Structure 1
Amino acid sequence: MNITVIGTGYVGLVSGTCFAETGNNVTCVDIDKVKVEKMRNGEVPIYEPGLKPLFDRNIKEDRLRFTTNLESAVATANVIFLCLPTPPGADGQADLSAVLFVAEQLGTMLTDYKVIVNKSTVPVGTADLVSEKIALNATVDFDVVSNPEFLREGAAIDDFLKPDRVVVGSSSEKATGIMEDLYSPFVRSGNPVIIMDERSSELTKYAANALLATKITFMNEIANICEGVGADVENVRRGIGTDSRIGKRFLFAGIGYGGSCFPKDVQAIKYTAQNVGYDFKILDSVIKVNEAQKVSMVPKIEEVFGSDLRGKVFGIWGLAFKPETDDVREAPALYLMHELAIRGATFKAYDPEAMKTFKNAASDLVNDNTAYVNTSTEAVLNTDALIIATEWAEFRGKDIENFNVLMNKPVIFDGRNLYDTQKAQKAGLTYISVGRKQMIQQELSYACG
């Protein structure tokens, strides 16, 4: 098929590349001329494991192209994917201005039947709005389909090529058939293409992410109880994760979730509920707890060092909201470092991929107090404590026995529970994690140096 993907952000670029990988001719459209030129020259604008080889191969085979010319890309397409930003407003409502603007333009450009697909995460009823905007100017038949993405940053290529399921919201038999043909190479192992109405499809994406965010937040609440009663959240996790009704995934305690999806989608479904007069109390709690969890290490740090952190240098491991991405949107490190900088702390920060994006996103207060270093070892050297904010795999294998030599004071605040508490104790570390017994090596705090 000939496919046009409008928008080359995270979803658009991954989708376009993966559709090209299965033999389709894909044209990706973006208004950013500089970005388009860089992609034409083989530069991938995002970090996503496994994307670059597919990107290069399909450009070489001339199945993946980039342009700023929307009209020419629309003219040759059978299917048009809208992969446009839908950022949240102050009230949590998704901003559909980009989607609706392009939809109105499409109406003037259609010369034959097309399937227009909402791939962006959009509120319930958006398919109807897009249809109305296109119909203002269209003189030919078209169908609008909802096809939400379920891509995990850091595993998006595998998620797209081998999806658990594909959700298609369509009331058109013709459009449904085209979508089933398009996705048939990705579901050969038998995973379902689930056909439903457009509104149910739109709500499915929000419901999935809200439930996962709730699961994470519930375990963080359990972790906080564990600290109060002397239990170990890792044992609790194993104890409940083997229950097939619960499952093992999304049960790891930490310092909160971030990223581009969970915070935005939880807010959006809450706004949808309010619009129909329903008070979604669980999500109110999820949002409140997650906001607090991002800075939950601050009181623990103050317990060891006091509230005046002037003169204290903290190593930071991990700036991205999760490993295997350079995305720092709503990353806990942003919030935690801001709170510590207010108290006078300075930082030596390291992340394998996200230092550039973090610099761009961080406040002046954080950047002015941060030295961005080239290795994880450099981030530890001559620091008063180490804070682990992202669970990159390379951090797990570090020889923590050497920290006594590298650091001014052997203190670790582990927001991702990477290390065994007993090993940390044997290494002579003050090791403070989430929902587990804290290993304090000295009765006196380090507040006075």
Structure 2
Amino acid sequence: MTTVIEGCAVATVDASGTEYQSGHVVVSDGVITAVGPGPAPARTDAVHVDAAGCLATPGLVNTHHHLYQWATRAVSVDDGLFTWLKTLYPIWAGINEPIVGAAARAGLARLALTGCTTSTDHHYVFPREGGDVLGATISAAADVGLRFHPTRGSMDLSVKDGGLPPDSVVQPLDAVLAAVDEAVSRWHDPSPGAMVRIAAAPCSPFSVTRDLMRESASQARELGIRLHTHLAETHDEDEYCREKFGMTPVEYLSDVDWLGPDVWLAHGVHLSDADVVTLAGAGTGVAHCPSSNARLGSGIAPVAALLEAGGPLGLGVDGAASQENGGLSEELHQALFAARLRYGPSGLTARDALRIGTIGGARCLGRQDEIGSLEVGKRADIALWRVDGPFHSDIVDPIDALVYGSPPPLARLFVEGRAIVIEDELQTLDVEAAGADLRHAARQLARSS
């Protein structure tokens, strides 16, 4: 099937930053076949979308999330990361497959309704009687219709061994490696246009042993998958690494062979200038999570320095237990404002924010040749933002309307050429039913904790 989208402003986010005040995008069989100014060449065999009053951008890419946390929003609301985790870990120890499935469907629906076409999920809590919680997230992504990069996370350092998580949610090294092998065999699709790709993701320096970090890196490279972990999120973590390992978090990464273009890191708030250069030089990406970092009082990542250094830099929502909104489009706005709080008014532009949220995220996931910009040959993951309404039409520049203003309504959201959102309504899932399932799951989890 061919779809012709025309009459809209187009921000391609290609390497040259090409934009059209009024242009078109043509999609055939899930792939972009034409992008340009003015109307598309006439054809009678296509579905035509009149996108007048809209801005077309690449779909947003969410590079860090914890979908299961949708069942525990607004808990420990006035605490920093370590206290917050110690409060929530015993609750999360009660998650199971139905609870995670309900949380994932609601969370992914929210992402779709805020312009996200590709999402990661960092799932690292695997209760012994929890069932197939990773499979539940993958099934939910298929239901919603998003491109999905779930990670098989892990923890093997419990409280009794000097870590933060309770013993009930940690796993021995051999079990973790076997589970990653199984996840890759079962779900990972390395082919072009893949809807599911798996990564390995030990949780953090304070919940994972050095052996697990090293073995995970070796295994991932043998399997040809990517690596993900939390790093440099708080001052507490920095102090923990210095006391436990005698080095900074980034030095620790180097020590366990985690620097490379196949790695992306969540947060990167407390990075020195030397750290930024090290990560960029290794091609290691950073998932910037401005709202979560603000909610937990963790700090403001050095976004301008990371951009200038040239390494991959994407946006992340993070778990809904520390970013209760759960939407991705608002992270464009928050990233802009957070950078300006740190650097001043020249810290980040609206176009910088859009680039981070699209092609930057694609680079973090190693998919910059497939998604993240509107170019011929790329997959048709496209957001059509309606910027002609009463709250946006007075802003002359449509990209400014998207980033500075409130999130605009979505006229369409295409994933692999399929419209999964039309006029702000999800076409693939009953959102009210998903919300009811989530409420039931959250209450069930609260009762069990």
Instruction: Please state which structure has a larger fraction of its residues in helix.
Output: 1
Instruction: Please state which structure has a larger fraction of its residues in strand.
Output: 2
Give the TM-score normalised by the residue count of structure 1.
0.24
Greater RCO (CA < 8 Å, at least 6 residues apart): 2
